[in-house]
């Protein structure tokens, strides 16, 4: 399921995968400013449904998805992607 989500993120030109996906972790970011990524993280976490973390890789602010609950379903990850997709600007490359 995590690899499928990674593939969805990678297929969207607004986003990039920032590190190899190991186990249940996905490091990704909007192709844009660190501030746009902070706003995306705030929006996702502010939903109250998900909690993502962040780090800095290669001097860029990166969001992290960690799937650690055995009860996580494909529907849960689909919901997370739909939220990220809805919150991401349609043209963030200039941000």
Query: Per-domain residue ranges for the chain?
Result: 2-87
pTM above 0.95? no
| Domain 2-87 classification at class level | alpha beta
The contacts of residue 92 (CB under 8 Å, 6+ apart) are 14, 30, 31, 32, 33, 36
pLDDT band, very low/low/confident/very high, at 70 (cuts 50, 70, 90): confident
Please give the pLDDT value at position 95.
43
pLDDT at 36 over 50: yes
Return the percentage of the chain with pLDDT > 70, whole number: 95
End-to-end CA distance of the chain: 31
Predicted local confidence at residue 13, as pLDDT:
97
What's the whole-number average pLDDT of the chain?
93
Measure the CA dihedral 87/90/94/95, to 10°.
-10
Measured CA to CA, the distance from residue 24 to residue 58 in angstroms comes to 21
pLDDT above 90 (res 9):
yes
Average pLDDT for 34-51: 97
């Amino acid at each position: 399921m995590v690899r499928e989500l990674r593939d969805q993120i990678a297929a969207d030109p607004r986003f990039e995968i920032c590190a190899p996906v190991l186990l249940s972790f996905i490091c990704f970011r909007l192709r844009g400013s660190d501030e746009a990524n902070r706003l995306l993280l705030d929006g996702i976490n502010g939903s109250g449904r998900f909690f993502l973390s962040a780090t800095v890789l290669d001097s860029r602010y990166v969001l992290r998805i960690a799937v650690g609950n055995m009860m996580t379903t494909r529907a849960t990850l689909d919901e997370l992607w739909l939220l990220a997709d809805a919150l991401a600007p349609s043209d963030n490359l200039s941000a």
